[in-house]
Amino acid sequence: MSDKKILAAYFSCSGVTAKAARTLAEAVNADLYEIKPEVPYTPADLNWNDPKSRSSVEMKDPGSRPAIAGRVEDMEQYGAVFVGFPIWWYVAPTIINTFLESYDLSGKIVIPFATSGGSGLGKSEERLRASCAADFRPGRLLNGDLSKEDLAAWAEKLGL
Ligand SMILES: Cc1cc2nc3c(=O)[nH]c(=O)nc-3n(C[C@H](O)[C@H](O)[C@H](O)COP(=O)(O)O)c2cc1C
């Protein structure tokens, strides 16, 4: 058990990941932080059937880095950072790369978690790992009903 605190940072457009993040934060006694885009995503932006929608355009370009509004105050106080997101086109939205690249996370444990319509984490981890020099651990899909006991046991296994 580290004496440093745990952060549960998340990005969520329709509330599903936000709910998972709240449960996780309660289960592992973490501070919650919402990753808010500088320009919020509208329903039209999220239309995956439209190849020209904002999300389609961003996700076709792995180098896109949508801007974030605000910052985590004093990231230094955290020893571990859970990073949550919805799966978009089988990976993490590129705003998660923006988040990871905005801080010096070296020496911290970073653990991804996601919600989805069914897809797994797939290549998300590979793409995120490239965006930070952290001690990056395998993540989990947190779809459906979550057990706080199970989440707490996960954190314990991670050595948090
Ligand atoms: C642009 C876009 C792309 C998506 N791509 C996938 C996908 O590849 N696989 C999947 O299972 N779900 C996909 N989904 C569904 C979301 O991952 C799912 O609804 C998620 O729980 C939404 O989380 P949120 O409410 O926190 O935004 C996609 C949703 C959007 C808006």
* pLDDT surpasses 60 at 89: yes
| Measured CA distances, 48 to 15, 125, 140 (Å) | 18, 22, 24
Residues with CB under 6 A from ligand 1: 12-18, 46, 48, 55, 86-90, 115-119
| pTM of full prediction above 0.95 | yes
Quick: pLDDT tens for 2-58: 679 999 999 999 999 999 999 999 999 999 999 999 999 999 999 999 999 999 999
Q: Which atom of ligand 1 is nearest to the CA of 116?
A: 17
State mean pLDDT over 62-72: 97
Mean pLDDT of the chain: 96
Mean predicted confidence (pLDDT) in 109-114: 97
Antiparallel, parallel or unpaired: β 31-34 and 5-10: parallel
